[in-house]
Amino acid sequence: MVIDGILYGLGSFAGGVIAAWLTGIPLVAVPFFVFGAFCMYFFRDPDRTVPPGVQSVSPADGKVMAVKPEGSGLTRISIFLNVFDVHVNRSPVAGRIADVQYRKGEFLVASKESASVENEQNVVTVDTNEGSRVIYKQIAGLIARRIVFTKQPGDQVAIGERIGLMKFGSRMDVLLGPEWSILVTPGQRVTAGVSPLAERKQP
């Protein structure tokens, strides 16, 4: 479990105990306990194993909302995370982090197409070990207003390695070049670090 879940959970449980003690009504604590339990569930962080031979994996649990051309030969894969999905994010490819840019923006509902451009987001560029350049975005949503990224430019990352998280509903976009064949389709459910996202085309 991510430490945030423990802190939110314990804080909510403590609030419930205090509220019940001050009011003398034990049932007052129930909403605090329910919220605390949800926080601990939300911030779960299960171990994942990348399947052998996979070249790119989903960076997030969620539903594929779009697979669309983005210009300059790129294809954008958009994944929406609802509040019941695991929100720990993982690197879709192995390589070196070349650039990280945090962009201020709106907090539109993350499932909307316009969220890819207008919402606050963290844009990460990775130079893969095979010579490709892959870009992915951690995108804030209506409720998710804090993006956590634990890596720095120059860091080496393994495929499926944990790189951060987003809190309470959000979106991740992955931009892949023409050297990749996309393996997912809109409407498909994907699992971070497990579901194959794309594979490199044969030369």
In which band, very low, low, confident or very high, does the pLDDT at 38 lie, cut at 50, 70 and 90? low
> What confidence score (pLDDT) does residue 114 get?
82
> What confidence score (pLDDT) does residue 96 get?
97
What confidence tens digit (pLDDT) does each residue in 46-79 have? Answer: 899 999 999 999 999 999 999 999 888 999 999 9
Average pLDDT, the chain: 86
Beta bridge partners of 189: 63
The percent of residues in the chain predicted with pLDDT above 70, rounded, is 86
Selecting among 91, 170, 181, 195, the annotated active-site residue is 170
The CATH class, in words, for 62-200 is: mainly beta
What confidence tens digit (pLDDT) does each residue in 86-118 have? Answer: 889 999 999 999 999 999 888 777 777 888 888
What confidence tens digit (pLDDT) does each residue in 1-15 have? Answer: 555 645 565 676 677
The answer, yes or no, to whether residue 23 has pLDDT greater than 80, is yes
Q: What are the residue boundaries of the structural domains of the chain, listed by start?
A: 3-42, 62-200
How far, in whole angstroms, is CA 66 from its chain's centroid? 16
170 an active-site residue?
yes
- Parallel, antiparallel, or unpaired for β 95-103 and 189-190? unpaired
How far is the C-alpha of 65 from the C-alpha of 41, rounded, in Å? 24
